[in-house]
Structure 1
Amino acid sequence: MDHRSLDRKAISKSSNASQSSLSVTDSSFSWHSSTVVVGGGDQRSQSQQMICIDLKHSLSNTLPSGYSRRRPHAFALQQADGGVYVFSVGSDEQVAAWTSTLNYWAARESKEPLIGGVGNMEFGWGECLQDVIGTPDRYKIRPGAKSVNISEWRPPVPPGMNSNLSETEQYANLQRHIDSLNKDLDGHREIKAKMSKRFLPRTTAYIKALSNWEAKQQYLLHEIIKYQNYCDAIEKALALQAEAQLTAK
């Protein structure tokens, strides 16, 4: 996993100091660095963007306080490609605020993956399982079953376009996607017994097929956690809006 560590530097006591700041604009998360001159006027005009991170399909999590003595208040932002940025801020409250904000915008802007077509590549759970007959407690291989060439399974690339749905529409859409992911996970777990019967233990095909199965299971679990965090973030925002409207009356 690619770890990219960025610290939020404190302002020194000298007249010229380096200052870092974090900002979120729609689906982008930016880290700025600027030279602060005491009495120097508008500091924003002197800032330089150091990095800009696309939040679509990202997930931010609080890191435990024991993560680092030098960084007692830190959070991690994992991108869709697996890359991870670690940010250190000033307090637990700031960590909670940043992770909540980042996950909210990731939830608003991320479009759920489309259901892909069925290809002709075999990962260990395709047509080859038609050679496994019988009931789960008495599976057996059909006579004459041929050897199978197993390809490496890779997670689908998430959509790069932004979602244009409203908060309530996006929430409902993501909930439906979570239901679909849970069904996929249940079905994926059910086929493991057939796969174990279809391939001879310790063979290359068996090792590849089971490796693919594990990879897809981990992917589905991660996606369920990610989209559940998205739904929680939008649900919290909707609740705050409803509370504000009641207070305003």
Structure 2
Amino acid sequence: MAEDSNTYEREAITNWLEKYGTSPITRKLMTVDKLRTNTIVKRLVDEFESGLQKQMYRFILGIDVKKGDRLFVAFGKSVHKAQWINRANEPKIILMTISGARAQKEASFFVELTKHPHIVRTYGLVDYPDDKRNEGVMLLQEYGVMGDLLEFLSTLENVPKEAVLCEMFMQIADAMTFLAYNRIVHGDLACRNVLLYHFDPNEPKNNVVKVTDFGLSRGSTVYLSVSSSATTTL
């Protein structure tokens, strides 16, 4: 918590204060040494993370979460809005259903690689309460309320500053490097598979994008067709 009584992510507000020395909201003078941990927010986050670990990243449809309106269907995936049941102040979520022979493998990629700051957060797998229905593998993910980068950029009247675009591309490159390190090939990197979480046309570091929709393992034919020298640059 800062002197302006607002709560920020520590790294982000520290970088801001070192550069500007003022509150990003009130514009009043503010210093790094006066930052304090918001114990209430931290406790809520810790409890949420602990709850996920206790459930081993598994949820039950109709008990833990409920499915909402469909957002889209494409390429063996369907995405619906979703809501937590009996959980207040939790992040907005979507329910992704993956079908096909590689569904379970792709789902495991999302769950295992969810900790990177520029890869869409996956909270876990979702089961039907009776465990009898088989409509594919369901994943619970954070909701990118600003939509994908392709759609967002196409609606802007002016092209963002070069520094803003470079920051976005650096975040994407960082996520892709992380995937390559974990022996994953995205296979379909495009702006439509990058979600926007925050846009600031003036301050590049305030922009946040996250990569989604990856599903090719190192053992796939696509990966094997790439030379060993090229794999280090993904």
Shorter-normalised TM-score: what interval? under 0.3
- TM-score (structure 1 length as normaliser): 0.26
- TM-score (structure 2 length as normaliser): 0.27
Structure with greater helix share of residues: 1
Larger Rg: 1
